[in-house]
Amino acid sequence: MPEVSSSEVVIIGGGVIGAAIAYYLCKEGAEVMMVEEDDLASGASGACDGFVSLQTKQPGVHLDLARESVALFPELAEDLDDDIEYNPCGGMMLATMPEQLKELKARAKKMKAAGLEVEMLTPADLKSRLPEVGKEIKGASYCAQDAQVNPIALTLGLARKAQDMGAIILRGTKVENIVVTNNRVREVHTSSGSIHSRRVVCAAGTGSNQIGKMIIVDIPVMPQRGQILVTEPRERMLDVILYGAEYLGTKGGITELMPRDEEAAKLGLGFTAEQTASGNFLLGSTREFAGADASTTPEAMNAIAKNAMYYLPWIKELDVIRSFAGLRPCSPDGLPILGTVKGVKGFFIATGHSGDGICLAPITGKLLSELILDGETSLDIEPFSLYRFK
């Protein structure tokens, strides 16, 4: 990059959110530079599951946003040159206790009233639809609109397509400061030079807090660690994404669904399983506040493996080949932070997607593109404003 360059829009962060915004902006013909301090998908977007999940969202603005996003996946899968392994396979939430089943039934009713296709399945139904499940499983809620995608392929696919449409992607380049004069963003200082721009987007995941400080705005995003085990590949056995009811408990803070076991509660353990297109199983996951530490721990690996065998006894036959941990960019209420900042014209925020960023990336990209280029959005984003926390 020359020492001083310019761009109509600068996006900070090369995760799925930055890549989605770049893609939708480029589709509208905007001139875009994306600045990533490490590499594309080096943050949470490259260390996560690929659940495109609707039944885990709260009815209301959360679910509405997710539905708009899920509706965009088929056309993305068509338009991107990379195979993003989008699979509209449906999702099952398994209950192991009568209280959990009761709670899932109540949620299914609310979801159905909100127009989502959610049905309850008995253990007999599960027998015909899943490989053997643990004998404690009391039933499940099933949502046919849940899906899966390869999150790394999605991030890289969006970024590559944006690049083909003209976006410049600066890897290994850290944003160090943002110059604001007369209440307007003017320049972005990076580790390899300055970029003149009147429009800057913060899509920096867990780095968003630091970016906010550069313009003296508090962006309340905290890293929440999630750990995952990866097994050796097998022929296709599981064509559905699976969660345990505790997953909802730890994700949404729903007391009735929290893990009962003390160690599991401490780790924020919630069962998840998916089989990827290459045949590996991803088994998860935890929700821990461990600062910026993205390492895996023996306690969590052990707990995830034990939990996975409880839900899917046959999984013990498979070798674990690796593990990883990612840091979810968590907002105080778990919903994304989208919009503008008072008193700093030209600064936009798209962060805090917590455990939902893969699912919400397409709609985030589309809405931010509208906001940046037209000053208004096709869906009301006021509920996701930074100022809901004040």
Ligand X SMILES: Cc1cc2nc3c(=O)[nH]c(=O)nc-3n(C[C@H](O)[C@H](O)[C@H](O)COP(=O)(O)OP(=O)(O)OC[C@H]3O[C@@H](n4cnc5c(N)ncnc54)[C@H](O)[C@@H]3O)c2cc1C
Write down the residue that tokens 């088929």 correspond to: 74
- Total residues contacting ligand X (rule CB under 6 A)? 43
Q: How far is the CB of 329 from ligand X (least distance, A)?
A: 5
Which positions from 223 to 262 touch ligand X by CB under 6 A, shown as an x/- string? ---x-x----------------------------------
CB closer to ligand X out of 101 and 283: 283
Contacts of 229 (CB under 8 A, 6+ apart): 282, 283, 284, 301, 304, 305, 308, 320, 322, 323
Q: How far is the CB of 123 from ligand X (least distance, A)?
A: 26
- Residue from 44, 130, 133, 269 touching ligand X (CB under 6 A): that is 44
Identify the three-state secondary structure at position 109: helix
Q: Is 47 in the site for ligand X (CB under 6 A)?
A: yes
Which positions from 357 to 376 touch ligand X by CB under 6 A, shown as an x/- string? xxx-----------------
The phi and psi torsions of 97 (rounded to 5 degrees) equal -135, 150
Cα 242 to its chain centre, rounded Å, is 16
Asked whether the beta carbons of 111 and 62 are under 8 A apart, the reply is no
- Residue from 5, 13, 73, 268 touching ligand X (CB under 6 A): that is 13
Q: How far is the CB of 102 from ligand X (least distance, A)?
A: 26
CB closer to ligand X out of 101 and 194: 194
Which positions from 258 to 287 touch ligand X by CB under 6 A, shown as an x/- string? --------------------------xx--
Give the CB-side neighbour count of residue 355, counting CA atoms within 13 A. Answer: 27
Contacts of 338 (CB under 8 A, 6+ apart): 349, 350, 364, 367, 368, 371, 381, 384, 385
Report 80-99 residues binding ligand X (CB under 6 A): none
Q: Is 35 in the site for ligand X (CB under 6 A)?
A: yes
Interface segment toward ligand X; rule CB under 6 A; list 15-23, 88-96, 137-145, 381-389: 15-23
Interface segment toward ligand X; rule CB under 6 A; list 37-45, 67-75, 257-265, 366-374: 37-45
The CA–CA distances, whole Å, from 325 to 241, 266, 312 equal 20, 17, 22
Q: What is the DSSP string of 320-331?
A: EEEEEEEEEEE-
Asked whether the beta carbons of 162 and 9 are under 8 A apart, the reply is no
Q: Under the rule (CB under 6 A), what is the footprint of ligand X?
A: 12-18, 35-38, 42-45, 47-51, 174-175, 203-207, 211, 226, 228, 284-285, 326, 328-329, 351, 353-359
